[in-house]
Copies of this chain bind each other. A is one copy, B any other.
Amino acid sequence: MDLISELGPLAFGSRLKRLSETIMRGGEDVYRFYGVDFQPKWFPIFYFLSQKSEAGIMEIAEGLNVTHPAVIQMSKELEKKGLIVSKKSDEDARKRNLKLSKKGKDLLPTLQKIWEEIKLMNAEIIENQEHNLLIAVKEIEDAWAAKSYLERFKEFHKLG
């Protein structure tokens, strides 16, 4: 039925992407179920600001390991929703600092409760796996970080 699923090691990139989108959609349902106007994609920045209280664009981008335009785009949405506010830094005129708004801070406890439950459930799904997805992903990420695919590829075929 689903060709990609049968290809095994080949082309699992597309497959991972699909899975991630499914996961995101699941998250949306949960927020909706709780009647909270919040989207999974906002989580990283919002969570970051809930921990750091105030931060510049680059600081957030590095913390989340995404590019700075991604942070700018997401933060625009969050600002539009009134969940965060931004203000030019006093010390450094290049910087624009973001932080949670009053509304954002008010929403935080509700979100934290939901996050905690999502986390618990995700943990359960993950722990019931014989092969742990998170560890597997981390292993592959590390393997990639250590050596590029092509390099690895060349070495592999020298041996064979």
A8 touches B64 (CB 8 A): no
User: Does A47 have its Cβ within 8 Å of any Cβ on chain B?
Assistant: yes
Q: Are B140 and A135 closer than 8 Å at their CB atoms? A: no
Q: How many chain-A residues does the 8 Å CB contact rule pick out? A: 77
Residues of A at the B interface (CB closer than 8 Å) are 1-5, 7-27, 29-30, 33, 40-41, 43-44, 47-48, 51, 62-66, 115, 117-126, 128-141, 143-144, 148-150, 152-154, 156-157, 160
Q: List 22 A-B contacts (CB under 8 A).
A: A2-B63, A3-B44, A3-B47, A4-B64, A8-B122, A10-B47, A12-B122, A12-B134, A13-B23, A16-B17, A16-B20, A19-B140, A22-B144, A23-B144, A26-B144, A26-B148, A29-B148, A33-B154, A129-B139, A131-B132, A131-B135, A136-B137
